[in-house]
Structure 1
Amino acid sequence: MGAIWDNCCPKSRPCGLGRRRRWQRRRDARLAAMSADPSLALLCPQPRHLTRTGGAVLVDTISIRRDTSLPAQGYRLTVDVDGARIDAADAVGEHYARLTLSQLPSPTPAVVIEDWPDLAVRAVMLDVSRDRVPTMASLKALIERLASWKINQLQLYFEHTFAYAAHEDVWSTASPFTPDEVRELDTFCRDRHIELVANQNCLGHAERWLRLPRHQSMALSPDGFDMMGLRRGPTTLDPANPAAFEFVASLLAELVPCFTSNRVHIGMDEPWELTPERIDEYIAWMHKLCDLPVLRDREVLVWGDILAHHPALLKSLPDNVTVTEWGYEADHPFDARARALAAAGKPMWVCPGTSSWQTLLGRTTNMRANTISAATAAHDHGGTGMLMTDWGDWGHHQPAIISLPAYAFGAAMSWCAATNTDIDLAVATDPAAVALGDVYLATAAQRPNCSALVRHLYLPQARVRHITVDELDAARDRIEHGVDVLGDRVDHDANELRWACDTVRMALDDAQARLENAGTLASIPSDTREQLADQALDIGERHVSLWNQRSRPGGLAGSRRWFTRLRESYLAGGPVANWPFPEIDISSGESQ
């Protein structure tokens, strides 16, 4: 944790032990001030230096002054009987000072706050391709919330949900973002000091495109491939195919100019069908993309998984590439991978995750540990950004509110890790979402990238084991506690949380019925399976109603189909063959 304290010093200068102790004393003073005035705990992120100087005052004047001795984006906010004074390094620092002042109550505590970010880039990536595409209104509301936490970048992850002019056959029923909508969002973000960045996967995760006959010849494996005992359709473009390159080049030429950012994320993760023997084609493909006129003078972001497994490629990276190292478990090797990137002299960001997908209620403790590990690695090895990723794998069923604590924690840890590792997310975000986010801990058996309590809803052919009935009861108790915290709220977030709780309760009932028999779905007595089928029907119908309030209609059929197929599996005593592949179709929700 030493490097976290190092980065509390102006302009990240290395600290000696004496200086580190001084920062520790200042942190203690901040905690003492919060203890004396609990309203200061509402600040998110928690500032690095906060001193309480008196009682509460009414602020009716704000004076502004530039102070270039402060780090970039930094400010000093003084509140006393004369009003509020802001000394800011730049316009962004002034904006952040005003945000901090807006989070304080009125009358306002007399304080001196001196603050600046650890990391220049503090970003969130929202998956808008796995079924759920938010409405403009809901997305703007999220942007407002992110801006209040000093997030300064938002990425929208596209596979097929941008309305490319010549490709209506892939997006016609997906409710995609239009070019005009992206430009509107770009302006909306810039007005709030947020950079909107294009994120278009340009090699793998192309299954929505490659299932179409006119594109199938561009696939690395046109006939599909086997993965984890299941048969999948093609997902990866062939980097040796000139038509595939021209296809991606045309997408980027249309997408990138809609954004004013000088950054573009081109993905490049998980090209499942690319064999080690062809790994040189991976880096050649990257070079060709980076040399496109639309990318040549921009900072190009790429995911770090392939580079981590083939470190010899690092020396061949294009000069304008920044590596975004991702991993979503508490024990992800951020330190080792960031160290390797630093040793190779490559710019990099760290990318933890919200731990919300394939969980319904989240994995808050895992998210916190994952994010702390990422922040520590960035500080220790010269990372310049953190990108909190929020995926929607397999139906994007998790309520939006479940991801909110992770957004806040990522914002806080990338702003000042030393003062935010223990931030109270229940105060900063939603107490019920935080409470429910640890339901997954009821079982000792944990699985990566999902909650073990609901895995069998997504893979009903899996045998339920390594979970006990006592643990299922403990999960039910945790849910009841979260519902108690929720109280009698009737807002949309509360309704989505109740739906998610009921869905997890169904999973617990399913698991208990299996454990009382042979562990498989087929072993559950038919009358119990019929009851579970009724629950799945109700869950699916409520899912539709909730979805339509904040998300566009495109993708709903595919997302709901998980519950429809689950109901069919309960009635039949087993899932359809090769579940869950072929992938769910976005237009009708039926398998291809």
Structure 2
Amino acid sequence: MDFEGVRNGVQTLRQLIRQCGAALPYLHVEDQPAFRTRGYYLGVTRGRVPALDWLKTWVDKLCLRKVNQLQLYIKHTFRFDGMSETWHGSIPLTPRDILAFDDYCADRGIELVSSVSAFGHLYMALRTQSLRDLGEFPESADESFVFINRMHHHMLNTSDDRAFDLSRRLVDDYLQLFRSDKFDICADETFDLGKSRSEPFAERIDVAAMYADCAIRPCRHLETRGRRPMMWGGITLEHPEILETLPEEVTLLNWQHDPQVTDEKIRAVSESGAKQIVRPSVWCRNALLPCHRRRLAQNIPRMTRYGQ
């Protein structure tokens, strides 16, 4: 039996009941997915950490909409062993939560994929006494906490082998909780790369080569763990020569948030032969409320069309 087809058919029936009530019209529905992977990216790194019950409710909504992949992005909001300084003051998700959530997603035909920044976006971790020395700008660790500062000085000093040891530990601790063979290392918004402690290394090789090394090392490590790496494509597309150096198994997540987005960057990856997943989005960082529906109505259809 095609369980996925039955599940999606049930969701179609639920949608019809929501639209029409108990008196359903006579109709014949023929439907199939336009995309094999229909994903949703959920970051739980800002504000309150969602409880497991809330996450389950969200997955029920995704199931209704026939989403079949969910990436769960964490930073300090997961209870990593030996890193209590990082999640102190919050109520982090636990390994038990993730295991239960993975089961819940699987029962609804949704692949739960792990997402951890392998060498950036570690602002809260790099403010701690234990880990600050691994940062690109350790001297900024005692600056006052402001939400906007989370986007600054959040990178590991990638010229320090101890930093890669930490990255590998984060990856290994998190990936073992998921049945999926995919892992998203993120690798985006590397603003600090080569700007302070790693500057001598950056002077010997260009920043593009430095970034490629930062990304390839965790990807190779994941391959030894039997995982297929994913990463955001933004920095890679700023330095297209990196595309030729990435491991064959890497999938680029081609995230574009501009309402008037073109297909230029999607074509660039496609023509390189690299694998990619098109990621519609809208820019609403630093906004009190989400972006206007008009932006959604422009970006999502365009990206969907380009992805086909």
TM-score, normalised relative to structure 2: 0.87
For 2:208 and 2:138, the matched residues in 1 are separated by: 19
Offset from partner CA, 1:370-405 (integer Å, 9 cap, x none): 1122112211xxxxxxxxxxxxxxxxxxxxxxxxxx
Q: Identify the residue that residue 145 of structure 2 maps to in structure 1.
A: none
- Equivalent AA in structure 1 for residue 231 of structure 2: V
- Equivalent AA in structure 1 for residue 118 of structure 2: C
- CA contact under 8 A between 2:99 and 2:178: conserved in structure 1? yes
Of the three residues 104, 108, 113, the one matched with 1:188 is 104
For 2:215 and 2:60, the matched residues in 1 are separated by: 34
TM-score, normalised relative to structure 1: 0.46
For 1:163 and 1:128, the matched residues in 2 are separated by: 13
Q: Identify the residue that residue 339 of structure 1 maps to in structure 2.
A: 267
Of the three residues 228, 235, 244, the one matched with 1:306 is 235
Q: Say if 2:31 is the partner of 1:119.
A: no
Shift in Å, 1:273? 0.8
Which structure 2 residues correspond to residues 441-590 of structure 1 after superposition, within 5 A? Answer: none
C-alpha change, 1:193 and 1:216, in structure 2 (3 Å) is same
- CA contact under 8 A between 1:350 and 1:374: conserved in structure 2? yes
Of the three residues 192, 195, 218, the one matched with 1:289 is 218
- CA contact under 8 A between 1:256 and 1:294: conserved in structure 2? no
Offset from partner CA, 1:491-535 (integer Å, 9 cap, x none): xxxxxxxxxxxxxxxxxxxxxxxxxxxxxxxxxxxxxxxxxxxxx
Q: Identify the residue that residue 175 of structure 1 maps to in structure 2.
A: 91
Q: Identify the residue that residue 3 of structure 2 maps to in structure 1.
A: 91
Greater shift in the superposed pair: 315-324 or 108-117: 108-117
Offset from partner CA, 1:429-462 (integer Å, 9 cap, x none): xxxxxxxxxxxxxxxxxxxxxxxxxxxxxxxxxx
Q: Which has the higher contact order (CA 8 A, sep 6+)?
A: 1
Q: Identify the residue that residue 249 of structure 1 maps to in structure 2.
A: 168
For 1:369 and 1:231, the matched residues in 2 are separated by: 29
- Equivalent AA in structure 1 for residue 82 of structure 2: A
User: Could you say which structure has the larger radius of gyration?
Assistant: 1
- Equivalent AA in structure 2 for residue 343 of structure 1: E
- CA contact under 8 A between 2:71 and 2:112: conserved in structure 1? yes
C-alpha change, 1:231 and 1:108, in structure 2 (3 Å) is closer
C-alpha change, 1:351 and 1:215, in structure 2 (3 Å) is same
Identity within the alignment, % = 28
How many pairs were matched up?
A: 286
Q: Say if 2:157 is the partner of 1:238.
A: yes
Q: Identify the residue that residue 50 of structure 1 maps to in structure 2.
A: none
Q: Identify the residue that residue 130 of structure 1 maps to in structure 2.
A: 46
Shift in Å, 1:296? 4.5
- CA contact under 8 A between 1:211 and 1:234: conserved in structure 2? no
Offset from partner CA, 1:19-48 (integer Å, 9 cap, x none): xxxxxxxxxxxxxxxxxxxxxxxxxxxxxx
Q: Say if 2:185 is the partner of 1:266.
A: yes
Identify unmatched segments of 5+ residues in structure 1: 1-65, 67-89, 380-592
Offset from partner CA, 1:128-180 (integer Å, 9 cap, x none): 01123112222211110110010111111111111001101101222111000
Q: Identify the residue that residue 443 of structure 1 maps to in structure 2.
A: none
Which structure 2 residues correspond to residues 144-159 of structure 1 after superposition, within 5 A? Answer: 144-159=60-75
C-alpha change, 1:363 and 1:355, in structure 2 (3 Å) is farther
Identify unmatched segments of 5+ residues in structure 2: 142-148, 195-201
Q: Identify the residue that residue 213 of structure 1 maps to in structure 2.
A: 129
Of the three residues 64, 74, 77, the one matched with 1:161 is 77
- Equivalent AA in structure 2 for residue 154 of structure 1: L
Aligned-pair Cα RMSD in Å:
2.1
C-alpha change, 1:231 and 1:343, in structure 2 (3 Å) is closer
Shift in Å, 1:295? 5.7
